[in-house]
Structure 1
């Protein structure tokens, strides 16, 4: 509180005590609001990725802060200009996915950036580089999908199996997407990913309405990234009306 305001409060304390109280409350409320603000930060940053031409690739970014930051994607520093080939899906949790549906050789060395801004401080930015290999220049051990997800239906409460078999050397880690959003299989005990037999396959126990959607698996190792084809999982049953949309977990990891 500056000296001028202090003198003003003292001079008016006897004549207008209610004004003093009001001013103090206003100052306290403003200070409290400022303390509650949290600058934007990126808790998930896009990873530089190597893919084979004509394949898919996804980049992930998650922002946090108070208020929740706005996430903006850019390609080589420019706004997205080709929505027919590049799509974005964002959640209210601050998680956002950018998807190239079909990369070309011209996409090699493309810089993908994710920025988060909530007006509290300067925006924060993270960048990743997309490397595209020709089909005749794929290194030994590059991850591949030998078995893709297939259309499935499951009764509510039963166990669903979504196929995916990945190979790669070193061993490829797997991430599952539902409707372009990553699943954190560690956060929900109903989910598990096979590491033997059909490495990469997803098992969902006690299927719920929220499990319904379009699934795909991603395999990643030190050589690069491979995406599977996508397939729908339908959950059959009688579901109670919901008050609002479910919000998937916004944390995840390759397993």
Structure 2
């Protein structure tokens, strides 16, 4: 069950990446409000934060590498070059992650700020998971008081990098669910039609997709851990039917209904079994008629034989009578 849960999460992340387009609320760029400014250290107006003494960045690198100021890694550069990223609105009670992956020589440190100040609130800290070595922070069980600007401050003795995420929140809402028992397994014969039905319960459904799971060299998952899938259909309806016409043996396999909202998704699979066509079998009526015809032919031949024998017998009797006279 744990492995299946991980697979579904990987699939969910993969499909969300496919489904969202520029301009979606969960990844949209917005202008910073006028009342917000990044801290002076990010604007180059101060060498340190307001609440800290001189920062000790350690000794010069002695591994032969060329010293350099911090820089965003390749995987993060395209995203973090945007001025600011809006995350949300995230429903109360959920979790959110901010990531600022960077490098430099020496390796820089990372500090997280909220609205320009180092995060010190005990309530927030108790719900946070800081992973400096992985360059991210997770805030669990979000409340409305968590909305605001979150800035990662990345620095070493040669420079400073900053990036700000804006988090907005909203009231919690019922979780997206799918109708129990849908889609259901189907068994059909080659050349016939099949259909799968799916119904989602959601107040703000963004999309519903029908997926066909594929195998490549006997594996359902690629080297990156994502499944091999084909997106057959996408809609924004909460109820939809996938129609498969004139199915072949290649259509057999696993099909999934995948529905997504802003912050969560639901996923359920069903199987299509395709049977070969059976050879034509005569009905009982056809068998009876065929047997009657065979019997009639046999009787006709017997009657013809009897008629011939009677004719020969008559000739023999009449011949003997004539000779006697």
TM-score bracket for this pair, using the shorter chain length: 0.3 to 0.5
Using CA pairs below 8 Å that are at least 6 residues apart, which structure has the higher relative contact order?
1
Give the TM-score of the pair, scaled to structure 1.
0.42
TM-score for both structures, normalised by structure 2: 0.34
Larger-gyration structure (1/2): 2
